[in-house]
Chains A and B, each alone.
Chain A
Amino acid sequence: MKKAKPRKSYSRNEVRAGLILALPFFVPFLLFTIIPVLGSVIMSFTDFNMLSMPDFVGTDNYVRLFLQDSIFMKAMGNTFILALVIGPGGYILSFIFAWLLNEIGPKVRTILTFCFYAPSISGNMVVIWQMFLSGDSQGYLNSILYRLGISSTPTIWLKNPETIMPIIIIVSLWSSLGTSFLVFIAGLQGVDRSYYEAGAIDGLRNRWQELWYITLPLMKPQLLFSAVMSITSSFGVGTLITNLCGYPTVNYSAHTIMNHLSDYAGTRFEVGYASAIATVLFAMMILCNKVIQKLLSKVGT
């Protein structure tokens, strides 16, 4: 069989054709992603209150952010905790569920996939949680605990600084089976059966080894993609918290960087400062991504 040689160079026509075909994606990407990000970075060096012209102040915003803003430190801490738990947690959960669903026949698998995927796309699923976690003494969780004799006074779950974080983690994980989940299912389907046979012949003893030596390396592209998705979304957790626990959360106990950002942009009208926060977040996310990619390249070895 002739092996395809990797192409070293492309003719000028091919280059031009390639660029033109990429334009429909590239132009919007430039207009709506690259330029706003650059704009945001530039705005982070100004003082802008949205209703009058921006005022250049240099690195004042960054100085204030790192040295004077205690809420930002708390928000960073919260974001890291949430990112560490939800990111890898959601990622591994997606994979495990995808792997388990892979064993089931196609019809049942489709139904179950829908059941698992639905929470992540339904915008108002927080309403169910709010009903369940209502602080009313006749709310679901409170009345169940009361009837079981565990607690005799109603706890205000969504306003108690101690319970807010665990609740956010649980609800986030529950709704984290999103695009990555679908990608994993597709990826697992795409693994060629013949590899497993070859592996069995070569001496693989159990399912775990199958997973580590065959499945995962063959799924490297999907793993990478999902990792990027998970990390970015876990850093961007903000709306969920606002919808569930109110804004801002009591004592800033689940205040993430995104919340902090929308606080300054939307409520306090300090868009320059908010842009600074956004730029810092952006930098953090890129860093994390690089680290994850390094880790993932080690998979299968």
Chain B
Amino acid sequence: MKSLKKNLSLLLVLTVILTILSQVVYGTEPSTLPSGNEVSQIWDLKGYDEWLAEVSELEKPSEKARVELNGALLEEGKSVDVAVTVAQSGLYCLKIGYTAVTGDSLFSSPIELTVEVNGAVPYKEAAALNLSRVFETVDNEFKKDTSGNDIQPEIKEVTPEQEYILSDSSGYHSGGLYLPFNAGNNTVKLSSERSDIKLNYIEICPQEEEISYEQYLNENGKGDSENADPIKIEAEKIYRKSDCTIVPASDRSSSSVTPNSASSLLLNTVGSNFSKIGQWVSWKVDVKQSGYYKISLYAKQSVNSGSVSSRKIMIDGAVPFKEAEVIRFPFSESYENYTVSSEKEELLFYLSEGEHEIALEAVLGDMSEYLRRISSILSDLNEDYLKILFYTGSSPDIYRNYGFEKLIPDVLEDFEKKSDELEEISTGLKELSSGSGSSTVTLDKLADILNIMSQRTDKIAQNFSQFKETLSALGSWINEYTSQPLQIDSITLIPENHQIEGKKESFLKNLWFKFRIFLSSFTSDYDDESGDTKQINVWIATGRDQSKIIDKLSQNDAAKTGISAKVSLVSADALLPNVLAGSPIDIYLNAAVADPINYAIRGAVVDLTELEDFETVAERFHPSALIPFSYKGAVYALPESFDFPLMFYRKDIFDNLGIEIPETWDQFYEAVALLQKNNLTVGVTWTDMFNLMLYQSGGEYYNKEQNASVLDSFESIDAFAKTLKLYTDYNLPVEFSFANRFKSGDMPLGIVPYTMYNQLYLFAPEIEGLWGFTSVPGMKQADGSINNSVIASGTGAVMLRTTTDKQAAWDFLKWWTDTDTQINFGIEMEKVMGAAARQSSANLDVVKGFPWSAQEFKVISKQWENINTISQIPGSYYITRTLDFSFNSAYSLSEDSSRALIRNVKELNEEISRKIAEFEKTEE
């Protein structure tokens, strides 16, 4: 006991010293790529604006220097040093010539780089560079499925040489960013966080300005396009794009969209996903007569009311003149004809005879400066919020006089300043969006609250929760207005002096069209006749979106696999009676973890190990993922989802309070105590805690013979007691809403399933960048290593005994659990429901294919090495109540925890033996 105390106090002293040191040593350059716990070092970097203000007196020379790299391969996770020599010191822009390297699957992860100059990452934006890939449509003549609907065209990745100018991936800063170089030799270090890439050259140069429109007209002289015909491009015939999630879509909301059909779904627009900054789409056009053309788009921006979407136009890969950098598309509820024009006139583009590529890239345009300022206001206000939170806790006492004037005078000053700034921005925005009110409501409200709180400090406690909510609304606002959605039907190139006749929407035509759609819904056959593909009956109980997506994916691949799935959406309890009745079900997807074994011991599902190349398929998944679906050497399901807990923490709160992120349980308990001293708490569910304690100390749920539970073993009783202590002695909450409390700062540490990440990302946009996740704490083992294994749980896909064609059903399962199909499914789900619908998978390649960032994926793969699962045996369903009863008796009724556990485990073992006897009887 004494040595424990001594060790703990030593640890505390060390922690304090280290914290002080870390404040002093500022801007430490990461020499290796950051691991999960080192992420806070990136967070310590300055923003670009702050850095630029410090180096503003440096020169901006007009020299250029180029280093050829001849296609050197930079692998993921590695870095390369390049020596660059310049005569003058000063600020330069950086250009990287590169060729992308195609990954194994079509969904190659995005290319993320970090750049360092002379050993230091100068600012935050330099640590997160996104370079684009290029995807090309193979054939723009859309194929049709058997109902006459268009099928998505195939795309392939192409690797042309591209040039990247160092810029802000978030789009807040337009144009190139500066880097500092010394006179003479410099070292530029490029590190790849994600994806391999071939480097062709590095060039440092002054910031380039585009030529003005007058200059452009002068350079190209007089055009000769009067006698040419207008050229129309259908936007859904995409030539190339930067993101494979930008796909043509079918829009039947208006009869003016071409091509359109009342009876089948034709792909006629592009752009429902074309909204992120940096994404671009290009089209090929064949110009017969060279000369000047006006560009007119028939498009709809109906998502961001009160705001404009902006695009950059590029002809053959380059922006022709300055005015083409930002083309604005104001809000409109229906399709409109937008002609590319500046404030004064319609813009003419010179196109010579022959083929050209016209591209549109999503940019922030006029909003960029405002968004930048608002996001810095948000981060300052978040800090202020925390300062108040530490004094008052998350529900301040409205009758208490805290004395804020003395405690936090700088915060009050900041409130006043920010209130004025917000009012100024709000006025500016109102002008920009021509008066539409809704876009500035949040800003006005926040300015108001800040004003009240700075004038009347006694009102701070009352307004605290509103303040928090408005901050959150501001975060969502930023997300909303960063997105630049635009749906395009067609692009027309109109020769110089012709009049622009756009498309018109006619109310009557629309009405007639919609009526025809309604009529055809009676005659369309939604059930696909498969022709020569085999039909598999697939049942799922999750949701309509999932069933539609699986159907679509299956149709798209039907020619390749020879199988087409007939997906039926059922309610979960319809399965069993139907199996009993012998309905022709082949596959059931997303069965809960306990179901496959439950059905297996009653002979309702097929043993998959009997089918050919089972072993190859099994290798796709994490080795422990198949355990809950195996019994006595047979495997009854293939894993689909696979979720496990990770530890989430608020970086800002931990930094503010000087607490280290715990890696062992001792550190965890310390963190708990320190947080509680500051009126904060920690969230862990007791089931997760018990699993962690049990498996990290080497315990198990069942014995080796799999015929009894060993939850009454010493390790288990010990783990259970430790778990209980957390709630009785440390007073952690047993029931809590993690997302809410994490967001408000009340619960800055928690161990929750890692898919909570997506919920938090959407739910708490105002704290974006201020939190992270990492592996759970572990137990120190005898040899000094830390065992931090977690328990994963998920759903599985089963093949039922009522299947008529085992081989075909097995082919379907193989296709379904294939990496590409699963990634496709996940991405489709995210398109429909957003990032909150991100799937989890037992196949690490699939997880990699989802849009996790490099940092996030690193954390997940680190924990991936240390995952266990709990097996399922006959009678396993009893476990939930065994543990539930034991815990609640011990917690609420103060029954001795070991007695409660042993008593319930005895009942559990009785039930297990009964079930095993029953199983053996049916086996005969």
Which positions in A face B, CB cutoff 8 Å? 49-52, 134-139, 153-156, 159-162, 246, 248, 250-252, 266-269
Contacts and interface: CB of A to CB of B under 8 A. Distances in A.
Given A50-B576, A161-B892, A268-B877, A250 B602 contact: no
Given A137-B733, A161-B893, A250-B888, 9 more contacts: A49-B602, A51-B580, A51-B599, A52-B602, A136-B733, A156-B735, A156-B892, A162-B893, A250-B885
B138 to A, nearest CB: 48
B736 interface: yes
B922 A49 contact: yes
Contact of A159 (B579, B580, B888): B888
Given A49-B918, A161-B888, A251-B885, A136 B893 contact: no
Contacts of A268: 877, 915
B891 interface: yes
B881 A248 contact: yes
A269 B602 contact: yes
Interface centre among B735, B877, B881 (most CB of A within 10 A): B735
Interface centre among B602, B881, B915 (most CB of A within 10 A): B881
A153 B573 CA distance: 39
A248 B602 CA distance: 23
Interface in B906-922: 915, 918, 922
Contact of A250 (B604, B733, B884, B922): B884
B571 to A, nearest CB: 14
Contacts of B915: 268
A300 to B, nearest CB: 48
Contact of A135 (B573, B734, B881): B734
Given A49-B922, A51-B580, A162 B735 contact: no
Contacts of B576: 50-51
B155 to A, nearest CB: 45
B428 interface: no
Nearest to A154: B733
A261 B84 CA distance: 79
A237 to B, nearest CB: 20
Given A51-B579, A51-B602, A156-B891, A136 B737 contact: yes
A50 B733 CA distance: 41
Contacts of B736: 136-137
B731 interface: yes
B104 to A, nearest CB: 42
Interface string B348-359: 000000000000
A162 to B, nearest CB: 7
Contacts of A252: 885
Contacts of B573: 266
B735 A136 contact: yes
Contacts of B580: 50-51
User: Secondary structure at chain A's binding surface: helix, strand, loop or mixed?
Assistant: loop
Contacts of A248: 881
Nearest to A160: B892
A50 B577 CA distance: 8
Contacts of A137: 733, 736
Given A52-B603, A267-B877, A156 B888 contact: yes
B799 to A, nearest CB: 15
B118 interface: no
Contacts of B603: 51-52
B889 interface: yes
A139 B740 CA distance: 13
A267 B579 CA distance: 16
Contacts of A250: 884-885, 888-889, 892
B546 interface: no
A162 B889 CA distance: 10
Contacts of A135: 734-735
A156 B889 CA distance: 11
Contacts of A266: 573
Given A49-B922, A251-B885, A134 B731 contact: no
B598 interface: yes
A162 B733 contact: no
A51 to B, nearest CB: 4
A246 B603 CA distance: 29
Q: 7 tightest CB-CB pairs across the interface, nearest first?
A: A135-B735, A160-B892, A51-B602, A250-B888, A159-B888, A136-B735, A51-B604
A193 B690 CA distance: 69
